Amino acid sequence: MRLQEEEFTRKKKLPESLLPRLTETELAYFRGRPAGPRSFICKRVELNAMTSPQLVEYIERKLEEAGARGKVVPPKEELPGLTDEAARVQVGFWVENVLEEILSVEDIKKRVAEEFLGAIETDQAERWINEGFAKDRSLSWRKVLANKLRELLREQHHTAALEQYLRQLVIDAIEEGRL
């Protein structure tokens, strides 16, 4: 394929079971030349040296040579159920997109976040982070903070108040004729 070769150092012995399966070219690449008592300078070609079309052609050719079958299609009797399932997923995506547009979900998320921020003491962040590190030093400060905010959000008084606020925003959107 006239791809650029590169050298690398192999430090392990080639498995004996592999040797009979290699072509002369493959043996020359993998055996290499001695570079020490247990190392060899060998050659290789990286797959990323190929263009995308070359790589696709190479993979398809090698699969065909290895006897790989064509595309897999489920049995005829299973297709209706699988198609129903796939259709439900696609309809679900469509509904989410339409609701996102109708309800201005990003705007609602911002408004609920602002309401949540007003209900917590954000000036306590340093204390929360230090407490989180005391429990688990392996976490990043962002993860510790996210965990604490999730905990605060789950607290009943925040959840109930935010849920009511969210419901009202959705009702307002419906009453404004957006849904």
φ, ψ (nearest 5 deg) of residue 42: -120, 175
- pLDDT for res 158: 73
- pLDDT for res 156: 61
Contacts of 134 (CB under 8 A, 6+ apart): none
- pLDDT for res 126: 95
For residue 58, give Cα distances in angstroms to 5, 23, 61, 64: 17, 18, 5, 10
Burial category of 76 from C-beta neighbours within 10 Å (exposed 0-12, middle 13-18, buried 19 and up): exposed
What are residue 43's DSSP bridge partners?
7
- pLDDT for res 155: 76
The Cβ-side half-sphere exposure at 123, using a 13 Å CA radius, reads: 0
- pLDDT for res 90: 96
Burial category of 144 from C-beta neighbours within 10 Å (exposed 0-12, middle 13-18, buried 19 and up): buried
- For residue 178, the 8-state DSSP code is -
pLDDT in single tens digits along all 179 residues of the chain: 788 889 999 998 888 888 888 999 888 888 888 898 889 999 998 888 888 999 999 999 999 899 888 778 899 999 999 999 999 999 999 999 888 877 788 888 898 888 888 778 888 999 999 999 999 999 999 999 999 998 888 876 778 888 888 899 888 887 876 54
Distance of CA 100 to the CA centre of its chain: 23
- Supply the pTM of this predicted model: 0.42
- pLDDT for res 82: 93
- pLDDT for res 154: 80
User: Can you read off the two tokens belonging to residue 73?
Assistant: 């299609």
